[in-house]
Amino acid sequence: MAAKYELKLGAATREAFGKALVELGKENENVVVCDADLSKSTFTHLFGKEFPERFFSCGIAEANMVSIGAGLASSGKIAFVASFSAFVLNKGFEQLRVNVAYSGIPLKVVGTHSGISIGEDGPSQMSVEDLSLACSLAGFTVLSPADEPSMFALVKQAAYHPGAVFIRAGRVKVPVIYGPEQKFVIGKGIQLTEGTDLTLISTGLMVAECLRAAEVLEAEGLSVRVIDLHKVKPLDRELIAKAAAETGCIVVAEEHLVDSGLGVRVAQVVTETSPCVMEFHGVNDTYAESGLPEEVLVKYKMTGADVAVTARRAFGRKK
Q: Which is nearer to another protein, 56 or 267 (CB)?
A: 56
| From 22, 33, 58, 217, residue interacting with another protein (rule: CB under 8 A) | 58
Strand partners, 83: 111
Please state the φ and ψ torsions of residue 236, each to the nearest 5 degrees.
-80, 85
The number of beta carbons lying within 10 Å of the beta carbon of residue 72 is 22
The count of other CB atoms within 10 Å of the CB of residue 260 is 18
Closer residue to another protein in complex, CB, 70/276: 70
Least CB distance to another protein at residue 111 (A): 19
Q: What share of the chain is helix, strand, coil (3-state, %, to 5)?
A: 40, 25, 35
- Among the listed ranges 74-82, 173-181, 233-241, 269-277, the one in contact with another protein (CB under 8 A) is 74-82
Q: Are 276 and 249 in contact, with CB atoms under 8 Å apart? A: yes
Residues in 82-101 that interact with another protein by CB under 8 A: 94-95, 97-99
The reply on whether position 70 binds another protein by CB under 8 A is yes
- Does position 53 interact with another protein (CB under 8 A)? The reply is yes
Could you say which of 37, 50, 71, 274 contacts another protein (CB under 8 A)? 71
Decide: 266 and 235 in contact? Cβ < 8 Å: yes
Q: Which is nearer to another protein, 58 or 217 (CB)?
A: 58
Rule CB under 8 A: choose which of 67, 83, 85, 112 binds another protein.
67
Residue 68 near another protein by CB under 8 A: yes
How far is the CA of 101 from the CAs of 96, 164, 247, in angstroms? 6, 7, 36
- 298: exposed, middle or buried (Cβ count in 10 Å: 0-12, 13-18, 19+): middle
Site size for another protein (CB under 8 A): 30
Element (H, E) at 17: helix 13-27
Q: Which of 14, 19, 77, 230 binds another protein (CB under 8 A)?
A: 77
32 binds another protein (CB under 8 A): yes
Among 2, 9, 27, 75, binds another protein (CB under 8 A): 75
Candidate list 61, 241, 267, 309; residue touching another protein; CB under 8 A: 61
Q: Is 62 a catalytic residue?
A: yes
Nearest approach, Cβ of 191 to another protein (angstroms)? 37
Contact 81, 110 (CB under 8 A): yes
Contact between residue 198 and residue 276 where contact means Cβ atoms under 8 Å apart = no
Q: Which of 15, 27, 62, 215 is catalytic?
A: 62
Q: Which of 229, 221, 219 is nearest to 192 (CA)?
A: 229
Residues making contact with another protein (CB under 8 A): 32, 53-54, 56, 58-59, 61, 63-64, 66-77, 79, 94-95, 97-99, 102-104
